[in-house]
Structure 1
């Protein structure tokens, strides 16, 4: 496993998202990407996902992520800010995560806190 995958992620910028699968039973989020300049598709799987946050700037009523344009997938070892989820039943139950991936889709963003990423079956460790 290596951790030099940012240039690889850049290869999928400006592709089209064929599908996104949220598999919380196995703590995975997978993204099927169609690249315009190539005949092959790419499968990017975020593994050991601790949290994800979707920010929809279009304010649609339903979460539709297929057939959307992928702007870019970014990775930052320090993360993209601190996100906090609060249990509305108890003010003492807080869950804080620092997403290390940002997936920009059209005018929306999907932030993912994951420990591993698999790009076309090659695994990269990103958090210990």
Structure 2
């Protein structure tokens, strides 16, 4: 992982579990995870979530690079620094979600009868 606009390494890569959320505008990671990496927010945003009852809530934004690994035969997808929202994700069973900001860069196919999906990218 690298800070946006800099080439100095921030720390060792960490593995996270993300869900794909086609209803989310933005990619989001657990705020505790972001703080544990020692990253500094680059800005703040106000977001409406399912729990905010229509009222925008403030959240920190971090510019991070991501490496998304698919199947064992697929090369990892390296995403240049992208703005990632940091929100509390308590009892979610996941470290965050991939939103449409990243999904728009690839092709997502869902096979309902089989209950499977594939995400291909450049």
TM-score where L is the length of structure 2: 0.29
- The structure with the largest helix share of the pair is 2
TM-score where L is the length of structure 1: 0.28
Tell me which of the two structures has the higher relative contact order, counting C-alpha pairs closer than 8 angstroms and 6 or more residues apart.
Answer: 2
